[in-house]
Homo-oligomer: A and B are copies of this chain.
Amino acid sequence: MLLGRVVGTLVASRKEETLEGLKLLVLRQVDVDDAETGGYVVAADAVGAGVGEVVLYATGSSARQTRLTKDRPCDAVIMAIVDTWEVGGEVRYRK
């Protein structure tokens, strides 16, 4: 799993019918120092994340292992909102 900061939302009215009801969020990827890496991903939200929060997301077939995304053409899902992490005994991020 990788870390991303929720920075926005995306609207797509014309889409595969199985995608109806999925909330799509725009994430900027962050590294273990909470610095942006330049990458992004658009992910389905399975946990009610909000703009500004740092989340954990899963990609590939694992992104279809939530109740919300099962059997849908979705390859990235937010499955946790991060409270905190530490590296080398030092807190690098706290919500």
Binding site for B on A (CB under 8 A): 1-3, 7-16, 18-19, 24, 26, 28, 31-32, 40-43, 46-48, 51, 56, 58-66, 69, 71-77, 79-89, 92
Contact B79 A73 (CB under 8 A): yes
In the complex, the answer to whether B9 meets A85 with C-beta atoms within 8 Å is yes
Cβ 8 A contact of A62, one of B2, B13, B64, B83:
B64
Chain B's nearest CB lies how many Å from the CB of A79? 4
**Given A13-B83, A65-B71; 17 other pairs, CB 8 A cutoff:** A1-B41, A2-B41, A2-B42, A8-B88, A8-B89, A10-B56, A11-B83, A12-B82, A12-B83, A14-B80, A26-B87, A51-B89, A60-B61, A61-B62, A62-B73, A63-B73, A64-B65
